[in-house]
Amino acid sequence: MINLRTQREIIKLQDAAKISALALQVAGELCKPGVTTWEIDKAVEKFIISQKAEPSFLNYQGFPASSCISVNDTVIHGIPSKDIVLKSGDIVSVDVGAFYNGYHGDNAYTFKVGEVSKELEKLLETTKNALYSGISEAIVGNRIGDISSAVEKTVEVCGYGVVREFVGHGVGKNLHEDPEVPNFGMAGKGPRLAAGMVIAIEPMINQGSGDIVRLADGWTIKTADRSPSAHFEHTVLVSKSGPVILTKP
């Protein structure tokens, strides 16, 4: 079932999304050489709790941290660790959500550590563009497939691989709700978008093939060919006056 949110709920979602966006900013400021992903996670957690919110991801289906931090060939669900030390040239995808007043926010960004290669710059730019082309299709009367197709078209011209096993989703009282928002598909297909729908759009794009593997820890998702991967996400409200990005600091 796809939930349509009332004005009162939208205000609460906006608050949760704002805390999520600020938490992502805290993470971004720490993506520097010599910093561990554990330190970043702890700073994110401390910030979310300081806002009287709860980290949405902590203990979600048993996830052991407050944020997913995925370096280079890790696509998503990287577990923060004292053993993962960032170095110049890395790319770091941080995915974080906050639960506040009964509602969740969810967002992700791939940060650069120091200087990164031109190839990586292009992967990040293209994935970010794919997110925004998807968002621009989040219009009343459109269908989910319009978002999916816009994302896919933006990245396929570069020969990048779209991860198909993980998709965007509705956001609300639960972190993951209907509908699914794939990063591939056909325009004009899928559920119709209505005012009050709140969805997380989140392209996960690999420099090589879209194939992935799961590590033995049960969480970490890496690219099968070990090529680097990027991930950008916003929580977006479908409104009569167009798409509204809720995850803004």
Bridge partners of 143, per DSSP, are 192
Among 15, 41, 73, 106, binds Mg ion (CB under 5 A): 106
Nearer to Mg ion, 68 or 155 (CB): 68
Nearer to Mg ion, 120 or 200 (CB): 200
Q: Is 146 in the site for Mg ion (CB under 5 A)?
A: no
Give the tokens for residue 106: 């969810």
Among candidates 55, 75, 65, which has minimal Cα distance to 203?
Answer: 75
DSSP 57: S
**What contacts 206, CB < 8 A, 6 or more positions away?**
75, 160, 161, 162, 163, 212, 223, 225, 227, 228, 229
Nearer to Mg ion, 43 or 200 (CB): 200
Using alpha carbons, list the distances in angstroms from residue 72 to 91, 124, 149, 151, 228: 5, 11, 26, 21, 5
Spatial contact of 127 and 165, defined as CB atoms under 8 Å apart = no
Among 16, 200, 201, 236, binds Mg ion (CB under 5 A): 200
Nearer to Mg ion, 203 or 228 (CB): 203
Nearer to Mg ion, 10 or 108 (CB): 108
Number of residues that bind Mg ion (CB under 5 A): 3
Q: Is 11 helix (H, G, I), strand (E, B) or coil?
A: helix
Binding site for Mg ion (CB under 5 A): 106, 200, 202
